[in-house]
Amino acid sequence: MAIIDLFSKRQEMLRNEVPDVYVYTQIPQPLRVQIVHILNELFSGPIPYGGTGLLEPFERIEHFLCREYGLFRFPFESNRADERVMNYLLKEPNHERVLDLVEVSFSFIASLRRSNLEWQYRVPQGKFDAAIDELNGRFREHGIGYQYEEGRIMRVDSQLIHSEIVKPALSLLAAQEYAGANAEFLKAFEHYRKGNTKESLNECLKAFESTMKAICTKHKWPIKETDPAKRLIEVCLENGLIPQEIQSHFGGLRATLESGIPTLRNRMGAHGQGVQVTDVPLHVASYMLHLTATTMQFLVESEKALK
């Protein structure tokens, strides 16, 4: 099922002050309920089992997890395994065990599909892929830093990208002179979390430009409010924002800044699409966020080093 951009969600986004991009130590109740809906749709295929289509797979999921946890069954009063599993998902306080259940449930379906023709019929590949997309979209929507990838729940920053690039950039942008860039970058992440990839590209460019404008304004370097990214880059280079002694080693930096953020945004997100609708893949938007973050981090750190 597609994720709907409701009016209430848009208003929450406008009002929300986000201290960090992702949360790792909790699974909010609305997200738990949405996961229940996803799993119910996945397991209740067109061939009924025990009247609901849910009993057998949930009995096996409960048995698997309880064996690992040293339990006989989940501690909820019900004669139905599906109800006990769903109550566990809704009420278990340990967020890592909730993620265990999600991972095992999706992996179990993947295993059934590989070995059982009936389950290939009950859960066609398109339905399974759509469920994974919705699950990951819900994680992003709630700002929870996990994704289901290749049969496992993984932290978004498991490869240090978030902790080494995004969080330091947000910390640097917390200074008052970068308030505009900070707000725009957080908007870019909010759009990414909601799957609005074109809007994310646009906000990335705004944040990148605002960072350079803030530095130029602080040092009274001559710029115009309407100067594009290319001109702002030129002013920053002309005024030694990149240390002179290593400027020769940054021959590719200007090309990266000019052709990376501005051009990719111009080609994919900013101009008219013509007859064919331009699709900006989620992985492109992710690349843009991290490229923007590391570029802004470099610019702010370079400004701090100026004498």
Instruction: Enumerate the β-bridge partners of residue 144.
Output: 23
Task: For the chain of 307 residues, list the mean pLDDT of each consecutive stretch of 10.
Answer: 62 51 85 93 62 69 92 86 90 93 92 85 87 90 83 65 64 82 83 77 86 92 87 85 62 49 61 57 79 85 83
Instruction: Enumerate the β-bridge partners of residue 148.
Output: 153
Cβ contact 103:39 at 8 Å = no
Tell whether pTM > 0.85: no
The pLDDT score that the predictor gives to residue 46 is 52
The pLDDT score that the predictor gives to residue 86 is 92
Class of domain 161-305: mainly alpha
Number of H helices, E strands in the chain: 15, 2
Domain boundaries, the chain: 23-155, 161-305
What distance in Å separates the CA atoms of residue 30 and residue 231, rounded to the nearest whole number?
A: 46
